[in-house]
């Protein structure tokens, strides 16, 4: 049994959905769980709905209507005539949310976010399941909010594993056992649910994590992420001209790459797979015959290809104790406590005798909070609009190639990894 995950780009149009059916027909084993994201940029669109609703802006209805029409156009191209029941089902789902928006939102933004944004995955799975059934597939649609149990920590996706394992085994095993021929179990990515039946979300791009949860619980033979790139590349092809495919990497390398900011895989995905030694394959839905990248237990030879990870809009900030004391355990713990309290992640850090320097993403609200916490005891200096480039398996040539004419403001390096903060 395999678990396949299809992201938003793989179902952004009628043609794309037909391609998913093609892949399921030609590249799936007889037992497959399909985890699906919302179609195209639907999650962004629904975020706009919630934000407008909270501003008391009637445009929230326009945003919703626009997203409904996006889905209806896809339906028009997928199904001949409007006779199919799926049209009504999609209309009904949107109508429910419209009604919901006619009330005043509660105090809890994150709760309301989950109630509304979850619509995207409910709709995408509804459409794909109806299409697959119509095409003659044996497909069961399961509601992920009744299978992945989470704490009522909205938008955080804190999974309650024991309950989740029980629910998934109970729901999926018999469906596969009873089926003859190819059987597809389809469910929503990104969603969980509380004990009381409210939808929760697992964090943006969390469908990868959903697929890893199903793979773990069901002891999948393999999990496949179907993407619009040939596999894991050594750099973002939108930023680098000569990217190469990494045919095989270890779990450890995958975790390191996501830690430094590679966005190809959601950071929470690898751990459950690694625990059960389930291989993860990243393949292209545009070229499904390609082998893609295999991420597995022991890659014999660790890759030596330099990989590049770029973060834009970075801030390099230094703190120096006002009393000219050394940077040591006492003031470091004060500094780290302030970072934790203001919810800021440090991407790179360095210290000298009298200053501590960190590279962080620009976020005015959070940095203001950080500075408030520390300005009494530290003088603070910073540079903004910087670029952080991380190179795994660096070579001198690789370093040269990214610096170009830029100035290096700060750098750390060890045997495998170099990080540089650059000013254009």
From Mg ion, ligand ASP, none, which one binds at residue 306 (CB under 5 to 8 Å depending on kind)? none
- 66, 166, 173, 204: residue in contact with ligand ASP (rule CB under 6 A): 204
Residue 393 CB neighbour total at 10 angstroms:
17
How far apart are CB 331 and Mg ion at their closest, in Å? 41
Beta bridge partners of 226: 6, 283
Is the Cβ of residue 43 or residue 234 nearer to Mg ion in the bound state?
A: 43
- 10, 37, 145, 299: residue in contact with ligand ASP (rule CB under 6 A): 37
DSSP result, 341-397: HTT---SEEEE-SS-EEEEEE--HHHHHHHHHHHTTTEEEEEEEEEEEEEEET--HH
Is the Cβ of residue 90 or residue 317 nearer to ligand ASP in the bound state?
A: 90
Is the Cβ of residue 8 or residue 193 nearer to Mg ion in the bound state?
A: 8
Measured CA to CA, the distance from residue 140 to residue 175 in angstroms comes to 8
From Mg ion, ligand ASP, none, which one binds at residue 251 (CB under 5 to 8 Å depending on kind)? none
User: Could you tell me which of 172, 144, 171 has the C-alpha nearest to residue 157?
Assistant: 144
Residue 113 structure tokens: 């976010």
How far apart are CB 120 and Mg ion at their closest, in Å? 9
Touching ligand ASP, residues 46-65 (CB under 6 A): none
Residue 244 structure tokens: 């190469």
Give yes or no for residue 120 binding Mg ion (CB under 5 A).
no
Give yes or no for residue 115 binding ligand ASP (CB under 6 A).
no
Measured CA to CA, the distance from residue 38 to residue 339 in angstroms comes to 34
What x/- string results for residues 153 through 192 when contact with ligand ASP is judged by CB under 6 A?
------------------------------------xx--
What x/- string results for residues 213 through 252 when contact with Mg ion is judged by CB under 5 A?
----------------------------------------
Measured CA to CA, the distance from residue 413 to residue 45 in angstroms comes to 40
Size of the residue set binding ligand ASP (CB under 6 A): 12
How far apart are CB 46 and ligand ASP at their closest, in Å? 9
Size of the residue set binding Mg ion (CB under 5 A): 3
Is the Cβ of residue 33 or residue 35 nearer to Mg ion in the bound state?
A: 35
How far apart, in Å, are the Cα atoms of 20 and each of 26, 128, 206, 252, 351?
10, 9, 20, 30, 51
How far apart are CB 264 and ligand ASP at their closest, in Å? 12
Residue 131 structure tokens: 């299409």
- 37, 125, 164, 299: residue in contact with Mg ion (rule CB under 5 A): 37
CB 45 within 8 A of CB 124: no
Measured CA to CA, the distance from residue 344 to residue 333 in angstroms comes to 15
Measured CA to CA, the distance from residue 258 to residue 302 in angstroms comes to 16
How far apart are CB 190 and Mg ion at their closest, in Å? 8
Is the Cβ of residue 201 or residue 357 nearer to Mg ion in the bound state?
A: 201
User: Could you tell me which of 7, 9, 44 has the C-alpha nearest to residue 266?
Assistant: 7
From Mg ion, ligand ASP, none, which one binds at residue 204 (CB under 5 to 8 Å depending on kind)? ligand ASP
- 1, 4, 8, 389: residue in contact with ligand ASP (rule CB under 6 A): 8
Is the Cβ of residue 6 or residue 308 nearer to ligand ASP in the bound state?
A: 6
How far apart are CB 315 and ligand ASP at their closest, in Å? 25
- 3, 9, 24, 38: residue in contact with ligand ASP (rule CB under 6 A): 38
How far apart, in Å, are the Cα atoms of 374 and each of 154, 320, 322, 399, 422?
30, 10, 11, 34, 25
Beta bridge partners of 295: 249, 280
DSSP result, 43-64: HHHHHHHHHHHHTT-THHHHHH
How far apart are CB 26 and ligand ASP at their closest, in Å? 24
Residue 335 has, within 13 A of its CA and on its CB side, a CA count of 23
How far apart are CB 268 and ligand ASP at their closest, in Å? 11
Which residues make Cβ contacts (< 8 Å) with residue 137, sequence separation at least 6? 21, 24, 25, 182, 184
- 1, 8, 78, 339: residue in contact with Mg ion (rule CB under 5 A): 8
Give yes or no for residue 7 binding ligand ASP (CB under 6 A).
yes
- 115, 207, 269, 320: residue in contact with ligand ASP (rule CB under 6 A): 207
Measured CA to CA, the distance from residue 101 to residue 123 in angstroms comes to 18
**Among 37-45, 62-70, 337-345, 414-422, the segment contacting ligand ASP (CB under 6 A):** 37-45
CB 373 within 8 A of CB 338: yes
Residues contributing to the site for ligand ASP (CB under 6 A): 7-8, 37-38, 43, 120, 189-190, 204-207
Residues contributing to the site for Mg ion (CB under 5 A): 7-8, 37
């Amino acid at each position: 049994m395999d678990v396949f995950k299809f992201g938003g780009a793989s179902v952004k149009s009628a043609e794309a959905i037909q391609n998913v059916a093609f892949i399921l027909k030609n590249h799936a084993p007889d037992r497959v769980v399909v985890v699906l994201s919302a179609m195209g940029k639907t999650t962004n669109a629904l975020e706009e709905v919630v934000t407008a609703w909270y501003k008391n802006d009637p445009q929230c209805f326009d945003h919703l209507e626009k997203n409904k029409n996006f889905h209806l156009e896809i339906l028009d191209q997928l199904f001949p005539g409007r006779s199919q029941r799926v049209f009504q089902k999609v209309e009904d789902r949107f109508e429910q949310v419209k009604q919901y928006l006619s009330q005043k939102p509660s105090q809890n933004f994150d709760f309301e976010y989950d109630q509304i944004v979850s619509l995207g995955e409910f709709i995408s799975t509804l459409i794909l399941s109806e299409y697959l059934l119509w095409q003659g597939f044996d497909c069961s649609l399961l509601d992920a909010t009744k299978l992945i149990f989470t704490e009522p920590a909205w938008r955080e996706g804190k999974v309650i594993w024991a309950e989740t394992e029980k629910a998934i085994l109970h729901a999926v095993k018999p469906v596969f056992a009873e089926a003859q021929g190819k059987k597809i179990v389809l469910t929503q990515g990104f969603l969980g649910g509380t004990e009381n039946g409210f939808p929760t979300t697992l964090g943006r791009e969390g469908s990868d994590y959903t697929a890893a949860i199903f793979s773990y619980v069901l002891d999948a033979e393999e999990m496949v992420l179907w993407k619009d790139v040939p596999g894991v590349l050594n750099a973002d092809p939108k930023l680098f001209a000569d990217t190469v495919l990494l045919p095989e990497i270890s779990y450890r390398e995958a975790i390191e790459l996501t830690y430094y900011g590679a966005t190809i895989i959601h950071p929470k995905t690898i751990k459950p797979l690694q625990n059960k030694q389930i291989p993860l394959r990243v393949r292209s839905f545009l070229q499904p015959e390609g082998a893609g990248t295999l991420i597995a237990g022991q890659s014999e030879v660790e890759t030596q290809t330099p990989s590049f990870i770029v973060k834009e809009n970075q801030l390099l900030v230094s703190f120096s104790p006002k009393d000219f004391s050394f940077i040591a355990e006492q003031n470091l713990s004060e500094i780290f406590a302030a970072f934790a309290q203001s919810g800021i992640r440090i991407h790179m850090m360095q210290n000298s005798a009298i200053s501590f320097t960190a590279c962080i993403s620009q976020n005015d609200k959070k940095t203001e909070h950080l500075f408030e916490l520390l300005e009494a005891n530290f003088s603070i200096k910073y540079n903004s609009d910087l670029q952080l480039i991380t190179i795994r398996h660096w070579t001198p040539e690789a370093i040269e190639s990214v610096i170009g004419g830029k100035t290096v403001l700060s750098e750390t390096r060890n045997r495998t990894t170099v990080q540089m903060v650059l000013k254009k």
